[in-house]
Structure 1
Amino acid sequence: MRLHRFLAALLLGLPMATPIPGAAEDAPLAPEVQRRVAVVVLARRIRGYAAMAKASSDCQVEKGRLPRRQASQALAISLEELGISRRVLTNPLVVAVSPRLQRLLDDSCALDPTKEPEALRLAENEL
């Protein structure tokens, strides 16, 4: 349950866009810029979700709760059910951040609530 809460926070809670230095505060961004920013933010959130899901899956394997093959299949299916290609799991950023997120998981492979802010910071800064 905590993992799902973290993943929802990750997908919904990251800042949508940071202000552009030097831009007039009252000048709205052009629609094409807004679309590009939205694409970049969505890609970051997808990588964050995939990295945390991979961390949880890898934790289950290391704890001996799931065989690697079954965990990999379940992870790919769960991503594809959300419309996310399994290829995101080979993204270098996902590969690099996933083990770091895994270290924040507790013995049940769920995110420790006290480490949730750290996990969000990691996802925001590294992905």
Structure 2
Amino acid sequence: MIKKVFQYLVLGLGVYALIAALVITFYKDDPQAMIWQDREAFNKRYIAKLSIEKPENLNAVLDYLGSPDLTYAKRVEDNVWQIIFYRTQHVKSDGITTIDECTGLLFKNGQLVLWGPSAYESYQQES
């Protein structure tokens, strides 16, 4: 009797471990469903992993991070400049997301060229 209970216990733990591994491996986080604290951390981790050697395109960023909190775009000659902002740090509890609470990602013709505090300054200088 004890042997059978032990077998069921081991089988149950094995099934639980398999399900947990599948969820961790295949479940994609949905930034839109996160509370704001978790979303900030999620955005910050993703942005910290960006690399200039392997620049992302706009669609890849939008697919992973979801809709930006703020976005601006303009056309300068033959180039389209777009800056999108994702909230990465809490400043003031007023229910409004402002630029100082976000990290900007600057895209030129859909390719990431700059991110961080200087991205918005560079966007403004393009004319």
TM-score normalised to the size of structure 1? 0.25
* Bigger RCO (CA 8 Å, 6+ sep): 1
Give the structure with higher Rg (CA): 2
**Structure ranking higher in strand proportion:** 2
Which structure shows the higher helix fraction?
A: 1
